[in-house]
Homo-oligomer: A and B are copies of this chain.
């Protein structure tokens, strides 16, 4: 098998896989919590039990800081988060999950597990470990070049 025409490259299938997975996730999340996106859910999870600033969370979920500002704003409007400025460093933003946010986190938990199981069905631990390693290589290859 050749990996040199667009539709047969590994990188094309990475894109394909992640898009399919995101669609599945969003569909299942929307059925239970209509007003939250996959990424917003991920932000809630990252904030849970973690004292992180806005840009730290942004790095964790691979978001640009500008996007983060806007996503957080929407999540505040939907009453999932509260934002205050840090006392130690007034540049930093402190993000807190509201009770509504915590409730959603609980609802999210089984959905996420189910999505993961669905996506990774029939994939052995060994296979998964290998996938993980190869992806790390690709990520590092791309990043060190920058």
Count contacts on A: residues with CB < 8 A to the other chain: 49
The count of identical subunits is: 2
- CB-based contact A122/B134 at 8 Å: no
A103, CB-defined interface residue at 8 Å: no
With A and B bound together, what is the CA distance between A71 and B31 in angstroms?
Answer: 30
A75, CB-defined interface residue at 8 Å: no
With A and B bound together, what is the CA distance between A19 and B120 in angstroms?
Answer: 21
Contacting residue for A143 out of B14, B20, B134, CB 8 A: B20
- Given the known inter-chain contacts A11-B18, A14-B17, please indicate yes or no for A134 contacting B130, CB distance below 8 A: yes
- CB-based contact B138/A119 at 8 Å: yes
- Given the known inter-chain contacts A24-B146, A139-B17, please indicate yes or no for A10 contacting B128, CB distance below 8 A: yes
Contacting residue for A17 out of B16, B45, B120, B135, CB 8 A: B135
Give 1 or 0 for each of A6-38: 1 = CB within 8 Å of chain B CB: 110111011111111101100100000000000
